[in-house]
Structure 1
């Protein structure tokens, strides 16, 4: 069984993607994914059923990575969130469960009628259709 501790942790230059390497295999974790699955109480709640669906995080980036002892990584995001400690087993779970977890997140967003777009972006595009305007309504 491979270890849960990544061999390498690298933040891409655009700060929108964290790369973890396990057993020579790169795992790509977008900042948005890391933010919406933050292990903080603000996101997870204090018990089952208290989770808070994170919305409007599509443009979030990582502003800081900080090791916490030998057991975790503290990630600070551009929206100011910094209270989650990503321990090695949790990061490993995120890395190897990405496809399923991301699909679940998108499903929950859709079911709640929420958006990945930040509120200010949603307001700017309100009323703009796929045709790029009001689709003939004048």
Structure 2
């Protein structure tokens, strides 16, 4: 990680629903809030292990109401739909920026495979405390591997939700 560029700037563009992150290597990424919400590293989105990811829909118009810095390694966005359990490390944000086009294509393929529309409302799960944004109040930062297959969250049993 010694070669990982450091964040230099962070700008929330509320009207265009974009988070702009500038890094020390000169790269600047404009990340749509929807992409961040759909690929949140939280257990609510990533599940509690491989194959338990929850396809997110109805997030096109999601906003970010607030952002808190977490130490020197991450931010915690508070999304307008109530989701606030994902910790986005600087490295994970960089990966989202680098892989943005591929991640959009993957998301569209997952939607098509599930036979749902991007704007469809999220189904409610009966008896689920993690799927509603409650339960797992904290999640681990995304792993250092791939943003598309990040297992973040509670896969290691780090939260209070039952696996």
Same fold (TM over 0.5): yes
Matched, 1:89 2:91: yes
Match in the other structure for 2:104: 102
1:13-28 alignment to 2 at 5 Å?
13-14=14-15, 16-22=17-23, 23-28=25-30
Query: Which structure has the larger Rg over C-alpha atoms?
Result: 1
The structure with the largest helix share of the pair is 1
Q: Compared with structure 1, are the counterparts of its residues 7 and 105 closer, same or farther at alpha carbon in structure 2 (3 Å cutoff)?
A: same
- 2-structure distance, mates of 1:63, 1:3: 28
Unaligned runs of at least 5 residues, structure 2: 122-163
**SS in structure 2 of the partner of residue 7 of structure 1:** strand
Match in the other structure for 1:76: 78
1:51-88 deviation per Cα after TM superposition (whole angstroms, max 9, x unaligned): 00001111101111110011110011110100000112
Match in the other structure for 1:64: 66
TM-score using structure 1 length: 0.80
- 1-structure distance, mates of 2:74, 2:56: 22
- 1-structure distance, mates of 2:34, 2:14: 15
Contact 1:32 1:59 survives alignment (8 Å): yes
Unaligned runs of at least 5 residues, structure 1: 120-138
- 2-structure distance, mates of 1:12, 1:106: 24
Q: CA RMSD in A?
A: 1.6
Which of structures 1 and 2 has the larger relative contact order (alpha carbons within 8 angstroms, sep 6+)? 2
- 1-structure distance, mates of 2:91, 2:5: 5
- 2-structure distance, mates of 1:26, 1:17: 12
